[in-house]
Amino acid sequence: MVKYIFKRLIQLIPVLIGVSIAVFLMIYLIPGNAAEIIAGPTATKEEIQNITVKLGLDKPAYIQYLKYMSGVLKGDLGYSFQTGQAVSKAIAVRYVNTLSLAIFSALISIILGVTTGIIAAAKRNSWFDRLCMGISTFGISAPSFWIGLLLIVVFGVKLKLLPISGFNGKIWTADGFIHLLMPAITLGFGSSAMISRMTRSSLLEIIHQDYIQTARAKGVKEKIVILKHALKNALIPIITIVGINFGGLLGGAVVVESVFAINGIGRLMVQAISARDFPMIQGSVLMVAFTFVIINLIVDILYAAIDPRIQYN
């Protein structure tokens, strides 16, 4: 297992290099000059040229990329074109907010999705099963920004039950929890819908197996049959979809953070893209990619912990 983990960590390097190249090329090919945005609308051509030279934007693309990557290998993500602040410090402050939002959303989606999926499978073709599948179809189809705006109107404006903004980054406090609840529900609703459908379909395949029928024939209670015998063997595809969805939660944070005014990496990336702040965009994307790969590694390790038949060489 240790050898496998070390091998996967080594594989992080080419993945992150590939991500950095893709992001750099997309930014580089965008029309316009970042120096013009930084200098402002009243700047002269000479001022724009000085900023271009100072930032190294006059150099060929491959030189700009190699210079950036040489800094990344030293732990230096560069400095923001817009604010002059170190990218690593700006990301460190906002990364906690995004990670808190993603983890809270994942917990909500897992609890809600697995619970409804189990009940729907146990009560197949019942009114509850049809209701859950109908809601899950809606959850997968509805865009997160629309769900967020709907929650704001209903629970924030009309009922005044939940705050619509002002998350302080401290999820462990009562105030932070309340402020993050609506954004987390918005972000996790679509994910819970997919987990619910996966849990239901996975359980329906398992509960018709011979060993499940044997447990029932022995008089084991249906609740124990479902939770102890069937659910454990149905967890592999569920964990897979949870790991994939976590990457979607990190990506969806871009929209949700903008809707609820949360100072996270998603909102930081939107601001950086508007200002053509290359170092900030690249640093933010690399951090999100790194987090996603680590989550996938954790998911792979959980496979072996749940199913002893899975071994890594």
Question: How is the chain split into domains, by residue range?
Answer: 98-306
CA-to-CA separations, 231 to 17, 213, 225, 264, in angstroms, rounded:
39, 14, 8, 35
pLDDT band at 312 (very low <50, low <70, confident <90, very high): low
Q: What is the pLDDT of residue 293?
A: 81
Q: How many CB atoms lie within 10 A of CB 218?
A: 8
Residue 32: pLDDT band with limits 50, 70, 90: low
The alpha carbons of the chain give a radius of gyration, in whole angstroms, of 24
* From 2-6, 230-234, 267-271, the region with the lowest mean pLDDT: 2-6
140-153: average pLDDT: 86
Give residue 6's pLDDT.
77
For residues 291-308, give the mean pLDDT. 75
pLDDT band for position 1 (cuts 50, 70, 90): low
CATH class as words, domain 98-306? mainly alpha
Which one-letter amino acid corresponds to residue 281? Answer: I
**Mean pLDDT, to the nearest integer, of 281-304?**
80
Please give the pLDDT value at position 168.
66
Gap between the Cα atoms of 142 and 154, Å rounded: 17
- Which amino acid would we find at residue 17? I
Q: pLDDT digits over 198-257, tens only?
A: 888 888 888 877 777 787 787 778 778 777 777 777 777 888 888 878 877 877 778 888
Closest to 113 in 3D by CA, of 169, 202, 197, 206:
197
CA 141 – CA 19 distance, rounded (Å): 28
CA distances (Å), origin 154, targets 103, 157, 162, 259, 278: 24, 6, 10, 15, 38
pLDDT (tens digit per residue) in 238-247? 888 888 788 7
